[in-house]
């Protein structure tokens, strides 16, 4: 094996990581993957069963803020690159308590950067091994009706989660400027797809609808997000990790802006078609009747949208999943998943 082929992936048991690892291992069968994950409430190893028996996959249960552990990993394996997903990721939880967000998202990123920098510097590989930080469009703040975030939009985070991610992005870039480390940052819009934690918007809509319970939508449902199918995100990450320019940021979007209420209605409509029995059992003519407006989230950003021309023109990427088929696949995955967990 060349020393470039052992990749440390952090947070690989989370939503995007657990989609990315099987994708990445299939695309690069010669790579060895070290997945370091703390298995917080958001991590689930059952989402990685398709790779867990591979001799090229190693799981390490631990915390990215644990300097001793991260040092041991760098001593034991010749880490040729880092793809850093691990984070506390739920905005509502950050509003309740920002502590874990700063610990993991900011301090954890610093620990990884520092240990990778020291190891690669010692090996004279600082410019040849890449540190890729997975970030979010939320760092840019909130938009009015018009305009999109570009890579040069100044950061203006407005909740503790996005502030912690903006801080981490800046630290990553600073290691590039200060030490000449090869770093890249990608900021993607909202992902959807299989393996997302039940607490997030789309899984919540599906779960509540199938149980015949009220589907909570914040405020008047007019907040807009751009939605990206998770496998399109994985393709973009693979491209940036291998071909993106060092010290650059890349925005990754779905070209798919939707209000929260439109999402709820679309999901309900697909459920009406896929599971007419759940509609009947709950005495509904459509699952959409369950949509209920609730008190808005404090500081709720009105609209996010990213301009992703840069990754499209520089690296030839574009999202391919259609929103309707992406939602259908996602909903079918959750229905199968929950049916399995009822059986066991
Ligand atoms: P997630 O919450 O589903 O998963 C996070 C993973 O990180 C979990 O497996 C968790 O156990 C692990 N983790 C948390 N703290 C850790 C720690 N201290 N040490 C080691 N592991 C730890 O998150 P996700 O949705 O998969 O997001 C992954 C990354 O992508 C995050 O950095 C997030 O900010 C970013 N992102 C997510 C979205 C989205 O829509 N989900 C959009 C843009 C960017």
State ipTM. 0.99
What count of other Cβ atoms lies within 10 Å of the Cβ of residue 340? 10
Q: In angstroms, rounded to a whole number, what is the distance separating the alpha carbons of residues 54 and 31?
A: 11
Average pLDDT over the chain, rounded to whole? Answer: 95
Q: What CATH superfamily is the domain 6-196+228-255+304-321?
A: NAD(P)-binding Rossmann-like Domain (3.40.50.720)
Ligand 1 pocket residue status of 297, Cβ below 6 Å: no
Q: In angstroms, rounded to a whole number, what is the distance separating the alpha carbons of residues 193 and 329?
A: 7
User: How far is C-alpha 315 from the chain's CA centre?
Assistant: 20
pLDDT at 341 exceeding the cut of 80: no
Ligand 1 pocket residue status of 108, Cβ below 6 Å: yes
Please indicate whether residue 138 is annotated as part of the active site.
yes
- In the chain, where are the structural domains located? 6-196+228-255+304-321
Residue range 58-66: mean pLDDT, rounded: 98
pLDDT at 3 exceeding the cut of 80: no
Cβ-based neighbours of 12, under 8 Å, separated by 6 or more = 18, 20, 21, 33, 35, 36, 37, 48, 59, 85
**pLDDT tens-digit map of 68-108:** 999 999 999 999 999 999 999 999 899 999 999 999 999 99
Predicted confidence at residue 2, as pLDDT, reads: 45
> How far is ligand 1, taken at its centre, from the CA of residue 37, in Å?
10
Catalytic residue among 37, 119, 137, 232: 137
Backbone torsions φ then ψ of 157, nearest 5 degrees: -65, 145
Nearest 5°: CA angle at 66, between 125 and 238?
50
Q: Which two tokens stand for residue 176?
A: 């590039």
CA-atom Rg of the chain in angstroms: 20
Catalytic residue among 23, 161, 304, 334: 161
Q: In angstroms, rounded to a whole number, what is the distance separating the alpha carbons of residues 162 and 225?
A: 15
Ligand 1 pocket residue status of 14, Cβ below 6 Å: yes
Ligand 1 pocket residue status of 253, Cβ below 6 Å: no
Residue range 255-271: mean pLDDT, rounded: 96
Cβ-based neighbours of 319, under 8 Å, separated by 6 or more = 228, 229, 232, 253, 254, 255, 256
> How far is ligand 1, taken at its centre, from the CA of residue 88, in Å?
6
Element (H, E) at 222: none
Predicted confidence at residue 343, as pLDDT, reads: 53
pLDDT at 1 exceeding the cut of 60: no
Predicted confidence at residue 76, as pLDDT, reads: 97
> How far is ligand 1, taken at its centre, from the CA of residue 164, in Å?
13
Pick the closest to residue 169 from 133, 138, 140, 142 (CA basis): 133
Please indicate whether residue 137 is annotated as part of the active site.
yes
Split at pLDDT 50, 70, 90, the class of 344 is very low
DSSP lists the bridge partners of residue 251 as 187
> How far is ligand 1, taken at its centre, from the CA of residue 304, in Å?
19
- Percent of the chain surpassing pLDDT 70: 98
**pLDDT tens-digit map of 141-197:** 988 889 999 999 999 999 999 999 999 999 999 999 999 999 999 999 999 999 999
Q: Which two tokens stand for residue 65?
A: 């803020």
Cβ-based neighbours of 126, under 8 Å, separated by 6 or more = 117, 120, 179, 180, 181, 182
Lowest-confidence pick of 189-193, 203-207, 336-340: 336-340
**pLDDT tens-digit map of 13-60:** 999 999 999 999 999 999 999 999 999 999 999 999 999 999 999 999
């Amino acid at each position: 094996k060349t020393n470039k082929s052992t990749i440390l992936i952090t947070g690989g048991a989370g939503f995007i990581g657990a989609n990315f690892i099987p994708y990445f291992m299939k695309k690069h069968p010669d790579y060895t993957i070290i997945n370091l994950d703390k298995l917080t409430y958001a991590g689930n190893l059952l989402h990685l069963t398709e790779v867990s028996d591979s001799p090229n996959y190693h799981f390490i249960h631990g915390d990215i803020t644990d300097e001793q552990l991260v040092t041991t990993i760098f001593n034991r394996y010749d880490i040729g690159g880092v793809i850093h997903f691990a984070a506390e990721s739920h905005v509502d939880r950050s509003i309740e308590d920002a502590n874990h967000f700063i610990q993991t998202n900011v301090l954890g990123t610093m620990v990884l950067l520092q240990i990778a920098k020291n190891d690669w510097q010692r090996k004279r590989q600082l410019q040849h091994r890449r540190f890729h930080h997975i970030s979010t469009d939320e760092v840019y703040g909130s938009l009015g009706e018009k305009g999109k975030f570009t890579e040069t939009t100044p950061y203006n985070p407005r909740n503790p989660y996005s502030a912690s991610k903006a801080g981490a992005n800046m630290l990553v870039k600073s290691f590039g400027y200060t030490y000449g480390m090869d770093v890249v940052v990608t900021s993607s819009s909202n992902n959807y797809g299989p393996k997302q934690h039940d607490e997030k918007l789309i899984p919540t809509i599906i779960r509540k609808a199938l149980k015949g319970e009220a589907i909570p939508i914040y405020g008047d449902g007019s907040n807009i997000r751009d939605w990206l199918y998770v496998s399109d995100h994985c393709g973009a990450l693979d491209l940036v990790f291998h071909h993106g320019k060092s010290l650059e940021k890349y925005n990754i979007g779905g070209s798919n802006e939707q209000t929260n209420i439109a999402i709820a209605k679309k999901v309900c409509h697909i459920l009406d078609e896929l599971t007419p029995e759940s509609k009947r059992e709950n005495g509904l003519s459509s699952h959409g009747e369950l949509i209920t407006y609730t008190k808005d989230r404090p500081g709720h950003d009105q609209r996010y949208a990213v301009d992703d021309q840069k990754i499209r023109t520089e690296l030839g990427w574009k999202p391919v999943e259609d929103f309707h088929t992406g939602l259908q696949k996602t909903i079918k995955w959750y229905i199968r998943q929950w049916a399995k967990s009822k059986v066991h």
